[in-house]
Structure 1
Amino acid sequence: MPYQLAILQLSGFNATGTKWSQQDAIGYVANGVSPTLMQQDDVINLLDLQSPDVLLLIADGVSASPAAASASHTVVNYLLQHWSGAGFSSRQLRLAQQYLADTLGRKRQSFGAATTIAALQLSAERFVAINAGDSRIWRLRNGQLQQLSEDHDWQNDSAELKQQTGLAQCYRALTSYLAADSEATDFTLAVTDGALQTGDQFVLTTDGVHDLVTAEELAELFAVADSAAALQQLQKLLLQRGAPDNASLLWLQPVTVGTTAQGNH
């Protein structure tokens, strides 16, 4: 089944109105498509993927760690380059963490560099979604947007805190991520897999998107037929709400044969 992949990436702005450095990294690869990694200030793009075997990746460098941009870039690049073209499991993410520790972890200036990661792999009939941290994977089915990933932070790790609202920001601190440290191997991974249904769409987001836009708003945006218009509306919404963080999104939807992507915007 052919798919259309929609891509949105923004740097976001700090309190003075100047752009943050881009610490998110996104990547995609499909059979017949070269692995592509993006870490740009501002991009909106639509493209066609003809193969049903697809791997999508989205990572958010942990800003409190050193070399956050390098961490997300390194992990996404490793996973893209080492995908066999079929199948995906948590083992690949644990190997990516080992590689991160063996490269950035050996340098004083980048030791401890950390990143979240969310990975989605599709075959002709099934999907697998794996994440560490708070980058999310969603499935849009019959108009309903369901989060397939788990947020690994203090609030969501606690049954008591999970039910509360209005908690201080400290409770959003991450409890799982990939780090450039050979001893940081006990991170948690969430894995969800299942059968595909006709019309299933998938969305990957970093917190710069889902902290500003609700699941209901995302579902409404993705219900429109014009993907380019939906991306432009989302970009406008993020900017209207201040875009205080890096924001990245990958949106994969099946397309009918003969439909073509609309290129760069």
Structure 2
Amino acid sequence: MGVDGGAVSVTALTHRGAVRQANEDAVVLGALTVAGADMNAPARCVLPVTDPVVVAVADGLGGHAAGEIASEHAVHRMAESGPQLTGPDSIDLLLKHIDEEIKEHAGQHAEFSGMGTTVAGVLLTADGNFWFNVGDSRTYRLQDGRLIQLSEDDSPALPPSEDGKPVTTNFITQSLGGSGASAMVPHVGRDPEPGPGAWLMCSDGLSDLVTLEEMERIIAAADSDESAVQELWRAAMDASGRDNISVLLVRRSTN
């Protein structure tokens, strides 16, 4: 049994969106994983932080179910290894192992060539909170009603939008697995807030379609985390829902 690090509540929803035939997103909440699901309402769970807890979203790439296999493998490996993670170095090593495993699987099955997945999440431990990502899924810290992006987008720089809408691209410069020739380098950092805090994680099915200001407004106006997550999903659906949508709202408390 680990040290009492308080508790974390996670409210999650993952959905195929309005256009895609399947959901290639997957999420991990401690020892729990959800992959390939089409949830019609958010689910909430409370987990003790006696041992380290990983909460993350993965957005599969590759089509023909290959992306779904990659994202599901990533979240299962994070669920298995989460309690043994200690900080940035162990997160970095785990993500590199997952990258190698996905590439090895793709190399053995021609139909899965090039499959990969993004990942973005947090590791909550008794010693602190750590964020990580590969690709363009995002982790934000929610502080004083503002969403502060912690993750670093692995996508090319684009000129700012003139109409205020999110500027988006489907191209990413690295993923777990995938067809990139260069070595994958995860982004990992320590959250400046060591104890209680709140975070939002999402696939680009949300962040590509809903502005940061609109996400902040929805969270501030909601009377519960379930309502906030439901309304964030609804905003993405109203903005075309052209991609899979995954949203995780995470709150760490002292007890």
**TM-score band, normalised by shorter chain:** 0.7 to 0.9
**Counterpart mapping for 1:105-184 below 5 A:** 105-155=107-157, 161=158, 163-165=159-161, 172-179=170-177, 184=181
Per the TM alignment, residue 119 of structure 1 is displaced from its structure 2 partner at its CA by 3.0
Provide closer, same or farther for how the CA distance between residues 65 and 120 of structure 1 changes in structure 2, counting only shifts above 3 A.
farther
Within 1, Cα distance between the matches of 2:98 and 2:182?
A: 11
* Residue 8 (structure 2) aligned to one of 3, 12, 26: 3
* Count, aligned residues: 241
Q: Is the 8 A contact 2:25 2:57 kept in 1?
A: yes
Name the CA distance, whole Å, in 2 between partners of 1:238 and 1:165.
18
Q: CA deviation at 1:217?
A: 1.9
Distance 2:142 2:106 in 1: 36
Counting aligned pairs with the same residue, the percent is 25
In the TM superposition, residue 90 of structure 1 has moved relative to its aligned partner by 0.9
1:79 is matched with 78
Provide the residue aligned with 2:18 in structure 1.
Answer: 13
The Cα shift of 1:65 comes to: 8.2
Of the candidates 215, 221, 224, which is equivalent to residue 218 of structure 1?
Answer: 215
Q: Which runs of 4+ in 1 moved over 3 A?
A: 63-66, 163-166, 169-172, 254-257
- Counterpart residue identity of residue 14, structure 2: Q
- 2:142 is paired with a residue of what secondary structure? strand
TM-score with structure 1 setting the length: 0.80
Matches of 1:102 and 1:46 in 2, distance apart?
A: 34
The unaligned stretches of length 5 or more in structure 2 are 1-5
Partner of 2:3: none
Paired residues for 1:44-123 under 5 Å: 44-51=42-49, 53-63=52-62, 67-87=66-86, 88-123=90-125
Does the 8 Å contact 1:102/1:180 carry over to 2?
A: no
- Take 1:40 and 1:46, find their aligned partners in 2: how far apart are those partners? 15
Structure 1: runs of 5 or more not aligned: 156-160, 258-265
Root-mean-square deviation over aligned CA pairs: 2.6
For the residue of structure 1 that corresponds to 2:61, the secondary structure is coil
